[in-house]
Structure 1
Amino acid sequence: MDNEEIAAEAAQLYRDVPVLAGAYEIVDRIGEGTFSTVYKARDLRGKVTARYGAHFWGAGTSQQRYVALKKIYVTSSPQRIYNELSLLYALSGCPRVAPLCDAARVRDQVVAVMPYYPHEEFRNFYRDLPIKGVKMYMWELLQALSFVHSHGIIHRDVKPTNFLYNPELGKGVLVDFGLAETQTDYNKERAGESPEGENSLRDCRSQEQFCPCIMRDSASAATPQHGAMITIQNGKVVHLNSPQGIDLTKGYPKNETRRVKRANRAGTRGFRAPEVLMKCGSQTTKIDIWSVGVILLSLLGRRFPMFQSLDDTEALLELCAIFGWKTIRKCAVLHGLGFDVSGLHYIREDPYPHGLKDFVYELLDRECEAGTFPEYSVAFETHAYLAQELHDRGSIEPQLPATREPGSTDQETDAYELKKYQEDVWTDHYWCFQLLEQCFEMDPQKRSSAQELLQGAFFNELLESEINTEIESTDDDDDAEVVSSSENEMSDNDVLLIRED
C-alpha cells in the first residue's frame, strides 16, 4: 500500500472526524467493501485495548495495540448503520464476535472502532488446512454463531471474508453485521397457537412475508385437516395434501389474488440457503448454517469459490447439479412453489448415491488426475479416505518406512503411530462429512442449529478437552471510555453513538 496514499486518506479522515486524531494513528488500509473502508490503527490511549484485552490476539506483542477503524460510507442507509452498530454493541460479550469498542459521528461521517485481528486470508490456507485444522476452524465459527443465534440474531452474510481466522493460533472471529437482523418468532404466529384457528390462518396468509412452510407442522395446525401444506388458487385456500391439490409447476393461477411474495434476499451469492433463493418469508438462523456448509464444502473439496452463479435461477441449478432436481423440487413444495427443469442434460435428476461424499470425491479425483495438488497436500488424505469408503480402493493401513530393518523396534513403533494417526484421520473425516450433510438439510426446520452441531461427534476431542469456551465479560472496568472523546471535547456537529452512563 502506498504510504503517501494512506497518509492522505488518514488526513482526510482526521479532518472529517477530528476526535479520531488524538486517539488513533492510522497505519494502513486493510479492507474495502461496498459499504465501508477499514483501516488498521494504533490505539494511542490504550483504553480500548485494555478493556477488550480478550479480543487482541498475541498478547504481549506489538499486535496487541492495534485496532480496526471502519469508515462507513454516507451512501449506507442510516437504519442499516444503526442496526449494525447496535448489534455489535449488544454482542460484545463473546471473544469470537468482534465487538464495537468505540464509535463517533460527525454530521454524515460515521466511524466504528473494533479490535484488529491478525488473520490469514481464506484463499491462502483453504487448500492446505488438515482435517484437524478444519475441525478447529468449524469449532470457532460455530461457537460464534451459537452465541449470535442465542440472542435471536441472524447474521445473513456468513462467508470466509466475514470470519477472520488465524490458522497458527486456531482462533477466529465473526465480523460485519451490516446485513444482520433479529429473527421473527414464527411460532407465535402459527394458526394453532390461537383459538381462532382459521381466522389466524387467514391473518398469516395475508402477510406479504407469509410462507406455507411455517404451517406444515401438524402439531401446530389449527385442525388436523390443515396439516402439512397450503397455498391459494383463485383466491381460495387449497390444501396440497388433498386429492384436489394443484400442480405447482404451472405457476400462479390466472386469478391469483395473493400479494406479491416478498422476502429478505440479502447475502452473498453462492452462500444463500434454498429458502432465501425461494423467497421464503419465514427465514431463521438456519440460513447461516447453510452458509457454514458451503464453507466446509470448500475446505473438504479444496475448491473456492464453490458456487459461482450470477442469479437465483443459476444458483438453484447449481444445487440441482449436486442434490438433483427432484430434491430441489421437494424443497420448493415446502415453500408453496413449483420447480421444473427440462432440456438441461447436465443437471442431475437424483442426488449422488453416497451424497456429498461422492461429490467431494469427484472434485478431488479430477485434481489428482490433473496433478494440481503438490505431493505433500493434505487433500490426499481426504481423497484416500473417500476412495476407501466409496470404492474400497487402497487401505487405511499406512505404508511402513522402507529404511528400517525387519524386526526393528523403532519400525514397530513407527507403524503403530502411523496406523493410529491414520485411523484418527479416518474417524475425523467420517464425522466431518456427517456434519456437512447436516448443514445441507433442505428443510430448515430439520437443519441442525449451531449448538446442535457443536455437540456432534466431530468435536468430541474439543468438547472433552479443557478448551475455554467461557464468555468473557468486559463490563468490569467502570472507568473505561467507550467513546473517543468526552461531550465537552466535541463540537455541536459531533454526535456520540455510544456512551457510558
Structure 2
Amino acid sequence: MESVVPGRGHRDQPFTIHEDAPSTADTEMLESASPEDDDNVEQMDDMADDMEGADDEDQESDYSASSDDEVVEDPYVLQDMEKLQNSFPGFREKYRLIKRIGEGTFSTVYKAEDLLYDDYDNSWDLDRDNDRYAPPPLRSGDGAEAQPSRRRKPKYVAVKKIYVTSSPSRIFNELDLLHDLRGCKAVCPLITAFRSADQVIAILPYFRHADFRDYFRDMTVTDMAIYLRSLFTALASVHSHNIIHRDIKPTNFLYNPATRRGVLVDFGLAEREGYDCKPCVCHEPMARRMKRAAVKKLAAMPRKGGYPRDDTRPSRRANRAGTRGFRAPEVLFKCTEQTTKIDIWSAGVILLTILSKRFPFFNSADDVEAMIEIATIFGWHRMQQTAALHGCMFETTIPTIGKSGFSFEAIILWSTNRSGKELPEDEQLAVEFLKRCMELDPSKRISAEEALRHEFLQLGLEQEAEGKGETGDDELDILKV
C-alpha cells in the first residue's frame, strides 16, 4: 500500500506521492518523501478535459447527507465498507468505519473512528486540549471512593474514497490543493491519504453538521450574516492562494447552527486561477473590446428568434464544471479567463436562497435555461451587455423576460408572501450585500476580502464570540475555523 503524505511547505515543497518500503505491517504515515518517489505518479488526461466530461451532469456533493448517528442497516453500504477495509492492509488497525455520511459524483465519504489518534500530530483538532486538561479522577485517599480513570472520548475522521473513474490528474490536483490550504481558516484540512493500486482514500477531519434544508428557512438576518461570514472567511483563505473552488453550494459548506461554525469541503473541481485558460475580451478595456471584429459581427447579425441555420461563429471551449443553478454568468457564457469571482456569485446564490426561503432557487436543466432564469431577474438588456462583455450575444423572444427584470427586494417579498410591504432595515442591508455578490460583471463583483469588511457581515459578531466554546456531547472533532 502506498501513502500520499502532505509535506510541511507549500509550492516550494510540492505535494508528493510515494511508496513505502516493503513491510508486513500497514503503511506508516511518513513525514517526508524521497525525490525518487515522484516517478510513481502517472499523469493521464489533463484536468480540463476531465472536467469537461462532467459538465453536462449535476455535480453532487460528497457531503450531501448530514452527520446524524443512525445505525447502518443497508446491506449494500455494509458490503461497501467491508470491501474498503479489505482493500488497504492494516486499515482496521488505524480506523474503524462507522457509517456512510455522503455520496457524490466522484467519491463516497464515511465516518470513522481514529484508533491511533494519540500517535500523530493533531493540530487540526480544536478540542484536543479539552481532554488534555481534564481533571484527574479522585483517589481513595482524598476522602472519596476510588474512581476508575476516564477513557478519552473517541475521535472521528472522514474517510473519502475517491472513485477509480477519476483520472490520476484530478485526484492528485485535489490532494495537492488541500495540501496547500492546510492551516487556512474554515477550510477542511487534509490529514493524510493512502493509495493501494488504483484506489485512493483521503483522511479528513470529521465535522458534525446539519442539513441545510433543515435550518435555512428559520435563519434570522443575524444568523445569515454569521453563516456568510464563516463561508467568506473560507473563500478569502482559498482565494488568497489563487485557488478557485468552482463548486460553492450549501452541501459543500458544512455548517453547524448550534456552534455557528462551518467548513468548506470538496475540492474535487477546484483549480488554480489561470490554469489552462486563454485571454478573454472581458479583461480588455471597453474601447478595445468594441473594436474587435467578432463583436461587430455579432452586433450586425439579424436579431430573430431561434438559432441561425448557418452559424459561422467559431466554437468556444471553456471550463463549465460546477453545479447547475450556482454557475456564474461568465461560466454560462464560456468565458475562457475565469477568476475567483465565480465563487462569489455562487455564495450570492446561497444568500438569495436563504432570503427567499426557496431551495433550490435556480432549477435549470441546462445552461440555456440557466441564462433564461438569470435574464428573468436582471432583464434581457443587462444580459445582452453581459454577453457582449465576453464576446457573445444574447437574444430571447420569451415574452415574460422584460427589459429591466425585477429587483431583489420584489423577488424576496413575493417569494415570502409579503407582497406590498417593505423589507426591514436589516434585510435591506442583506440585499445590498447580495447585489454586490451577484453582479453580472465579474470585475465589479465584490471580493471575499472586501465582503468580510462589509457592514452586513459585521452583524452578530458579539453573539458569535459568546457562542465559541459551546459544543455538544459529540462535538469532539470540530475543524479549526
Amino acid corresponding to residue 33 of structure 1 in structure 2: G
What SS does the corresponding residue of 2:201 show, helix, strand or coil? strand
- Offset at residue 180 of structure 1 (A): 0.4
What is the CA–CA distance in structure 1 between the aligned matches of 2:454 and 2:224, rounded to whole Å? Answer: 15
Cα distance, 1:216–1:114 mapped onto 2, change above 3 Å: same
More helix as a share of residues: 1
Offset at residue 92 of structure 1 (A):
1.1
- Pairing of 1:162-181 with structure 2 (within 5 A): 162-181=252-271
Question: Is residue 222 of structure 2 the alignment partner of residue 145 of structure 1?
Answer: no
Gaps of 5+ in 2: 1-71, 132-150, 467-481
Matches within 5 A, 1:440-479: 440-461=438-459, 467=465
Do residues 359 (structure 1) and 404 (structure 2) align? Answer: no
What is the aligned counterpart of 1:276 among 325, 328, 331?
331
Can you list the C-alpha shifts for 1:245-300, whole angstroms capped at 9, x where unaligned? 644858899795x7521110000000000000000111100000000011001100
Match of 1:30 among 97, 101, 106: 101
Q: Is the 8 A contact 1:249 1:337 kept in 2?
A: no
In structure 1, stretches of 5+ residues that fail to align are: 186-206, 218-225, 366-382, 390-425, 469-501
Summarize deviations over 1:436-477 as a string: whole Å, max 9, x none.
Answer: 111110000000001111111112345688959xxxxxxxxx
Contact residue 208 and residue 259 of structure 1 kept, 8 A: no
- Verify the 8 A CA contact 2:226 2:461 in the aligned structure 1: no
Matching residue's letter, 1:131: V
User: What are the superposed Cα offsets for residues 365-400 of structure 1, whole Å, 9 maximum, x if unpaired?
Assistant: 1xxxxxxxxxxxxxxxxx59x8235xxxxxxxxxxx
Residue type at the aligned position of 1:361? L
TM-score, with length taken from structure 1: 0.69
CA distance in structure 2 between the aligned counterparts of 1:255 and 1:98, rounded to whole angstroms: 46
Q: TM-score, normalised by structure 2?
A: 0.71
Query: Could you report, residue by residue, the CA deviation over 1:124-143 in whole angstroms, capped at 9, with x for unpaired residues?
Result: 11111111111111000000
Specify the SS of the correspondent of 2:157: strand
- Kindly provide the CA deviation profile for residues 324-382 of structure 1, in whole angstroms up to 9, marking residues without a partner as x: 1111111111111111111x222232122xx20111111111xxxxxxxxxxxxxxxxx
Q: Quick check: 1:229–1:334 contact (8 Å CA) kept in 2?
A: no
Deviation at 1:81, TM superposition (A): 0.4
With over 3 angstroms needed to count, the CA separation of the structure-2 counterparts of 1:39 and 1:57, relative to structure 1, is: farther
C-alpha displacement at 1:50, in angstroms?
5.2
Q: Percent identity?
A: 44
CA change 1:110–1:48 in 2 (3 A) is farther
Deviation at 1:84, TM superposition (A): 0.5
1:407 aligned partner: none
Distance 1:276 1:141, change over 3 A: same
1:90: which partner in 2? 180
What is the aligned counterpart of 1:345 among 394, 399, 423? 399
1:160-209 CA distances to partner (integer Å, 9 max, x unpaired)? 01000000100000000000001019xxxxxxxxxxxxxxxxxxxxx984
Once the two structures are TM-superposed, the CA of residue 63 in structure 1 deviates from its matched residue by 7.8
Q: For residue 343 of structure 2, what is the aligned residue in structure 1?
A: 288
1:388 equivalent in structure 2: 422
Q: Measure the CA separation in 1 of the matches of 2:293 and 2:174.
A: 37
2:159 maps to 69
Q: Label 1:121 to 1:49 Cα distance change in 2 as closer, same or farther (>3 A).
A: farther
Query: CA 1:19–1:159 in structure 2 vs 1: closer, same or farther (change >3 Å)?
Result: same
Q: CA deviation at 1:428?
A: 2.6
1:432 to 430, 448, 455: 430
Q: C-alpha displacement at 1:149, in angstroms?
A: 0.3
Contact 2:222–2:460, Cα closer than 8 Å, also in 1: no
> What residue in structure 2 maps to residue 262 of structure 1?
317
**440-449 vs 88-97, greater mean Cα deviation:** 88-97
Question: For 1:26-425, what aligned pairs fall within 5 Å after superposition?
Answer: 26-47=97-118, 51-54=122-125, 65-184=155-274, 209-216=278-285, 227-233=288-294, 246-247=300-301, 259-342=314-397, 344-352=398-406, 355-365=407-417, 383=418, 387-389=421-423
Does the 8 Å CA contact 1:209/1:261 hold for their aligned counterparts? Answer: no
**Cα deviation, residue 123, structure 1:** 0.8
CA RMSD of aligned residues (A): 3.0
CA contact (8 A) 1:48 1:101 kept: no
> Secondary structure at 2:86's aligned position in 1?
helix
Query: What CA distance in whole angstroms lies between the structure 1 residues aligned with 2:109 and 2:414?
Result: 39
